[in-house]
Structure 1
Amino acid sequence: MSRKESQSKNLNNVKLSPITVRSYKQTVNRIKDFDSETNFGINFNTINLNFYYAFVQYLEKNNYSTNTIGKHIKNLKTILNAATEDGYNSNLKYKHRDFKTVSKESVSIYLTEAEIEAIYNLDLSKTKDWELARDIFLVGYYTGQRVSDYNHVKKEQVKRFQGTEVIEFNQRKTGKKLYVPLHPRLKKIFKERYQDNPPPELNAPDINEFIKEVGRKAKIDSEISLEKELNGNFEIVKVPKYSLIQSHTARRSFCTNAYLSKMPVIDIMAISGHSTEREFYKYIKVKPQERAIKISQSNFFTK
């Protein structure tokens, strides 16, 4: 697939975020790798069900997760749709019902308010890398942003409106401009450890590595069951909760805890940037029992 074909007028001249562009480039690179290894002869005319099954099998053989495979198929279909609309492609085999994205619900955790409290109260002064990762993670938790936005907050983003300090975000993924109240705990962290500045940026992989260690030290070790593929077989294994903490856990924890604290969903979405309530409810991690308790506290059930 030529560069011109793969980009197809930059997807109908729609301005794409850097994160989205990177995702498309990853997909194109995986297709190139597949073509190099198999000599499939990739062009618009050869993208059919035979290609689909061979490409998926190639990704599975190289240990890509189900959701990553689904992401690449979804990206490819988006590129092909744009190429078709722009007149570069006339082969519609990719629209076949079996040429489909695949997905599997992943185990995504959230941290309770008590677990956030434990992380916040840890003395990490002797392990500065862990301390920095913890502080950045808390910026994510108390702002509800994605790591691409909360990992490099600058002092000039802190604004004051009518006596209230807020942090201004221009979300990289969506382009939305959002204002989030500056939480007192963040203000204290900025003042006491970073000379009234937000914590400096840290590589995202390092955040993921160090925040697990922080979670372990905070004794966030309840067992979580998950399905894991071992030698082609799926087995249920139990892992300590801290081993599943990642940078995006901060945002999910904010959304879930804010919901459970009875903050109006429309206000949570104004902070997180979720576009629809359907998208928001799919994102948060609330057990049916927790939702029932929240509903029981509404005026309907307390009159």
Structure 2
Amino acid sequence: MENGTRLNIHKLRYGHSTIKNYKGFIVQFDEFCKARRKRYDFNDIDIKFYDDFVAYFTEKNYSVNTIGRHVKELKIIMRAAREEGLHDNGTIESRKFKVLTAEVENIYLTESEIKAIANLDLSDDRHKNIARDVFLVGCYTAQRFSDYSAINEGNIRTLESGQTVIDLKQQKTGNHVVIPARPELLAILAKYDNRLPKSYEQKVNKYIKEVAREAGITEKVEISYVENGEKKTRIVEKCDLVKTHTAQRSGATNMYLAGIPTIAIMKITGHKTEKEFMKYIKITEEESAMELMNHPYFSGKE
């Protein structure tokens, strides 16, 4: 993956975050082997192994989604090895060999919250200033961090109509997307001579929480999580849940709430199905009701 001899299903090089996840898997798998005092072969991967593997990480109090990610990575490796003739073990295809998932508290920021972040004067703190600007580019384009953080003059195109768009190829999917550029987006790009400063996801995640707090995004939010196999809840401030991925989710959700057709937003985000897209965006029950109130059935207007 690192040197490009193994490409993804789109025949593109793997992204840095994907490689990082697989390296993390190797470390965790080695730790599991040491704990069990055994080296596992392809043919050892059966349902008994699966139950033990999941139990090991549950005892270490890993989140359901982290355990699920490790199982998913193991299944991908097993499939690739089988396709290359290294084994013929098909146990991973069993329904019992399940990739565990739990719904995570993926919030989105409203247009007014995004404006509050944009209006902050961060001129005396370069790190926060850059993190804020890069994050806002994500909100305005509804792209992944790997795509929105790397936008430069080569992605800016002016159409015959005189309108400016962001034209890019998504790193993860290879999809070609064209995004209408909002004035706020163009202003940020112009601030950096149409080349965003180099930023790192970990650093942006750290600073954007502080920026969101300064912008007053401190609404109390109840989140659920799993600890030692038990579902629990706790109250946190919304700013503490803001991260780089919040930008893409906020962009997509706000486009939807603005009345932009779902199919048009999907062409920007890269979602393949409407079902997948509707699970991705965050619409509260209240927002859904407000949207329905404008429908003739509820408003009484023909």
Cα contact 1:262–1:294 (8 A) shared by 2 = no
Task: List aligned pairs for 1:96-111, cutoff 5 A.
Answer: 96-111=94-109
| Larger mean Cα displacement after TM superposition, 225-234 or 30-39 | 225-234
Structure 2 CA distance for partners of 1:292 and 1:91, relative to 1, 3 Å: same
| Larger mean Cα displacement after TM superposition, 68-77 or 257-266 | 68-77
| 2: CA distance, partners of 1:151 / 1:167 | 13
How big is the shift at 1:21?
4.8
1:291 maps to 2:283? no
Cα contact 2:224–2:231 (8 A) shared by 1 = yes
- Code of the residue aligned with 1:126 in structure 2: it is D
1:190 maps to 2:189? yes
1:220 to 217, 222, 227: 217
Task: List aligned pairs for 1:27-46, cutoff 5 A.
Answer: 27-46=25-44
How big is the shift at 1:22?
4.5
Q: Which residue of 1 aligns with 2:52?
A: 54
How big is the shift at 1:159?
1.1
| 2: CA distance, partners of 1:119 / 1:126 | 15
Structure 2 CA distance for partners of 1:201 and 1:13, relative to 1, 3 Å: closer
Q: Which residue of 2 aligns with 1:134?
A: 132
Cα contact 1:224–1:238 (8 A) shared by 2 = yes
How big is the shift at 1:232?
6.9
Structure 1: 5+ residue stretches without partners: 1-8
| 1: CA distance, partners of 2:114 / 2:72 | 35
How big is the shift at 1:14?
6.4
Q: Aligned with 1:248: secondary structure?
A: helix
User: Taking structure 1 as the reference length, what is the TM-score of the superposition?
Assistant: 0.88
| 2: CA distance, partners of 1:26 / 1:44 | 19
1:68 maps to 2:69? no
Q: Which residue of 2 aligns with 1:15?
A: 11
How big is the shift at 1:228?
4.2
- Code of the residue aligned with 1:281 in structure 2: it is M
Cα contact 1:11–1:79 (8 A) shared by 2 = no
Q: Aligned with 2:124: secondary structure?
A: coil
How big is the shift at 1:284?
0.5
Count of aligned residue pairs for this structure pair: 294
- Code of the residue aligned with 1:249 in structure 2: it is T
How big is the shift at 1:139?
0.3
Cα contact 2:6–2:13 (8 A) shared by 1 = no
Cα contact 1:212–1:242 (8 A) shared by 2 = yes
2:273 to 254, 272, 276: 276
| 1: CA distance, partners of 2:264 / 2:9 | 33
Structure 2 CA distance for partners of 1:55 and 1:117, relative to 1, 3 Å: same
Structure 2 CA distance for partners of 1:190 and 1:95, relative to 1, 3 Å: closer
Q: Which residue of 2 aligns with 1:200?
A: 197
Structure 2: 5+ residue stretches without partners: none
1:259 maps to 2:256? yes
| 1: CA distance, partners of 2:207 / 2:73 | 31
| 2: CA distance, partners of 1:210 / 1:100 | 36
Cα contact 2:205–2:243 (8 A) shared by 1 = yes
C-alpha RMSD of matched pairs (Å)? 2.4
How big is the shift at 1:202?
1.0
